[in-house]
Amino acid sequence: MSTEPLKAAALALRQAITSAGHGLVQRESLVELIALSAVAGEHLLVVGPPGTAKSEAVRRVARALGGKYFEYLLGRFTEPSEIFGPVDLRKLKDGIVETETSGMLPEAEIAFLDEVFLGSTAILNTLLGLLNERTFRRGHTRIEVPLRLCVGATNTLPDDDALAAFSDRFLTRIFLEPLPDPELEDLLAGGWSLLREPPAAPASIADLDLLSRAARTANVEAVRTELAHAIRVLRKNGVTLTDRRAVKVQRLIAAAALLGGRTTPTTADLWPLVYAVPDPDAQTLARDVLREVLAASENSALAAAAAEASLGPLARASRIVSRGKEILATKPPVEDPPGVEAWKLRLEGVAREIDAGFSEKTITDELRNLRAEVVRWVS
């Protein structure tokens, strides 16, 4: 396959990712994972409390790709017709049970289902086929759906074993926390700009499809040995990936390579393995035990996600250092005592984040130096 159209599509996706992430504070990884999952043709589960920009991130990526978008908040009493469409009453008179899917999930290219595990058995069974086989079956209706990506959201992972099969359909997982104290000013500024800015559509579903097709035929054999080694390291440390996940993670790796400007994956593209680990504590452990394996991780289009996957506590330290330096650089003049007081409070937030987040053994030198400077101003 000629690489020029691929490069153009990858560049368009990169611009779409940047555009979608603008104004969303500390959610770059989420936006990047949405794009990665879409190119890989795998679904994404976002776990986090309400108000952590889950639906906004998906909406913005959908708008940036110009795709047909469907979004719904599921509840225990949600009827299947609210998701899939009502029964066609004209055909019902002839004894044919067909669903009118216009504008509903079966016609969506990108979908967001909030509180996805609250759906009834009827909904989840139908969703299972839709997510797995890209086929919608209900009554006499059987259609191939154009769904490229479904993002499911939930406050917490379900305990119920009965939901395990459905939950496993979401290969990629990201766990979100509310923003820490020092980043609240950025959140307020970013959120305000979100309310004002019209969205852009720098890419298209056609770009996405071109990259997806290339991802499916990428030569993953080049990194298979390293990937197998990484999975063995995980298993040795008690992090189990199902065989299904281990096989499918290759799609994420291939997608990461394409978005990073490579037609053939390298060891720089193994980092999505972390996001295929289904549990938050296991993901944190995976970051730590795979630190050496993922040391070469790099991706110019998905920088935040790659950095977070491969560095773990180091990524956290790096973020705090960056944030702390920004705050230190914005000291108000002494003639503005309330401003200085507010500035010191922000610095105290940084100090608290350092002291609460790192022990004597895990604190990095850069963080220790930052702390020393912060303490100089707030003690």
Partner 1 sequence: MGELRWIDRARVLAPIAACGRGAAADALALKLSSWPADRLAKLSGVSVFAPERAVFVLAQSEDDLPWVDGIQYLGKDPHAPQLLLPTAERPDIHLSLFERAITRVARTPGLIAVLAPPARSIIPLRAALPLSSKKLRDFIEGNS
Q: Which listed residue (284, 291, 318, 366) binds partner 1 by CB under 8 A?
A: 284
Among 101, 309, 68, smallest CA distance to 208 is for 68
- Which of left, alpha, beta for 5 (phi over 0: left; psi -120 to 50: alpha)? alpha
Query: E strand or H helix at 71, and its extent?
Result: strand 69-73
| Shortest distance, position 357 Cβ to partner 1, whole Å | 5
| Shortest distance, position 316 Cβ to partner 1, whole Å | 8
Q: Which listed residue (71, 82, 168, 181) binds partner 1 by CB under 8 A?
A: 181
Q: Which listed residue (325, 357, 366, 377) binds partner 1 by CB under 8 A?
A: 357
| Shortest distance, position 353 Cβ to partner 1, whole Å | 9
CB 33 within 8 A of CB 21: no
Stretch that binds partner 1, among 11-19, 96-104, 120-128, 354-362 (CB under 8 A): 354-362
280 is a contact residue toward partner 1 (CB under 8 A): yes
Indicate the DSSP class of residue 138: E
Closer residue to partner 1 in complex, CB, 27/371: 371
Task: Establish how many alpha carbons lie within 13 A of residue 234's alpha carbon, considering only the half-sphere containing its beta carbon.
Answer: 28
Q: Which listed residue (73, 122, 200, 378) binds partner 1 by CB under 8 A?
A: 378
Cα first-last separation, the chain: 62
CB 61 within 8 A of CB 35: yes
| Shortest distance, position 43 Cβ to partner 1, whole Å | 24
Stretch that binds partner 1, among 38-46, 159-167, 278-286, 301-309 (CB under 8 A): 278-286
Closer residue to partner 1 in complex, CB, 269/353: 353
Span 288-307, contacts to partner 1 by CB under 8 A = 288
Q: Which listed residue (189, 206, 342, 375) binds partner 1 by CB under 8 A?
A: 375
Q: CA dist 196 to 23, 189, 193, 199, 363, Å?
A: 10, 11, 5, 10, 40
CA diameter of the chain: 82
359 is a contact residue toward partner 1 (CB under 8 A): yes
Rounded Cα distance, 142 and 122, in Å: 16
341 is a contact residue toward partner 1 (CB under 8 A): no
The label of the residue with tokens 């610095």 reads: 347
| Shortest distance, position 308 Cβ to partner 1, whole Å | 13
> Residue 365 burial (CB < 10 Å; 0-12/13-18/19+)?
exposed
356 is a contact residue toward partner 1 (CB under 8 A): yes
Which positions lie near partner 1, rule CB under 8 A? Answer: 177, 180-181, 280-281, 284-285, 288, 348-349, 351-352, 355-359, 361-362, 375, 378-379
